[in-house]
Amino acid sequence: MAEENKPGSVDSSPAPAQSKNPLLMLLMIINIVAMGTVAYFQFKFMDMEAKRPDLTQLLKEKDNQAAPSEATGEQKTTEVVKKENLLPLDSFTVNLAQGDGPRRYVRLDAVLKMSDDAKSPEFEARKPQIRDTIISILNTKRAEDLLKKEGKSFLKEEIKASINSFLVDGRVEDIYYISFQIN
């Protein structure tokens, strides 16, 4: 027994083998596959971006396509708005109708597009009446109604009809929202 504990003796017990964790190997394989997938999609994206036409090239093609239509006599209809026909309104801050939630209000800047036969003195004289009409209409609206695109379009039509009902000379043709914010 004394011989077993000698410092120079060779131990006959097997050396501890390095254990390889199969979970670690699996994670390394998954990581390599994931990096390969990312690299593949990055390559495809860069290839797609290289094939995409330049914006200046698209604009030149559009101009070249528009030139033959002018030569054939086709006219594009564009609406011409005269500055004299626009009536800017001061900013509105109006409480909305009470819904299920907290009190809400709307901030609105708008410009009225008037007909050609409209007279500016009438609109200047009726500006308080126009503002009152718009405020009254906005007070009846809920935020949920105005947040939708259809709600804003319906509001325009309702305001136009209300204002046109009391105008004598000319009429409101359209309403342009400059800013429309609901809080």
Whether the Cβ atoms of residue 132 and residue 116 lie closer than 8 Å to each other:
no
Q: Is pLDDT above 80 for 145? A: yes
> Which of 175, 182, 181, 183 has its CA nearest to residue 88?
175
Span 148-176, average pLDDT: 90
| Six-digit token string for 41 | 């999609």
Residue 10 has pLDDT above 70, yes or no: no
The mean pLDDT value for 161-174 works out to 88
Full-model pTM: 0.54
Angle formed at CA 97 by CA 92 and CA 102, multiple of 5 degrees: 100
Cα-based angle 52, 53, 55 (whole degrees, multiple of 5): 125
Q: Which of 57-66, 118-127, 164-173 has the highest mean pLDDT?
A: 164-173
> What is the per-residue pLDDT across 21-66, written as a single tens digit (0 to 9) for each?
899 999 999 999 999 999 999 999 888 888 877 767 766 777 777 6
Half-sphere exposure of 179 (CA within 13 A, CB side): 12
Of these ranges, 2-6, 19-23, 34-38, 159-163, the one predicted with the greatest mean pLDDT is 34-38
Confidence of residue 134 (pLDDT cuts 50, 70, 90): very high
- In b/e form, how buried is each residue of 83-117, taking b as 16+ CB within 10 angstroms? eebebebeebeeebeeeeeeebebebebebbbeee
Domain locations in the chain as residue ranges = 22-71, 83-182
pLDDT at 18 over 90: no
Residue-level pLDDT at 5: 57
Choice between 71 and 140, residue whose per-residue pLDDT is larger: 140
pLDDT at 12: 56
Considering the domain 83-182, what is its CATH architecture? 2-Layer Sandwich (3.30)
- Tokens 């379009």 found at: 153
Q: How confident is the model at residue 155 (pLDDT cuts 50, 70, 90)?
A: very high
Read off the pLDDT of residues 86-117 as tens digits, 9 standing for 90 and up: 888 889 899 988 877 788 899 999 999 888 88
What per-residue confidence (pLDDT) applies to 26? 93
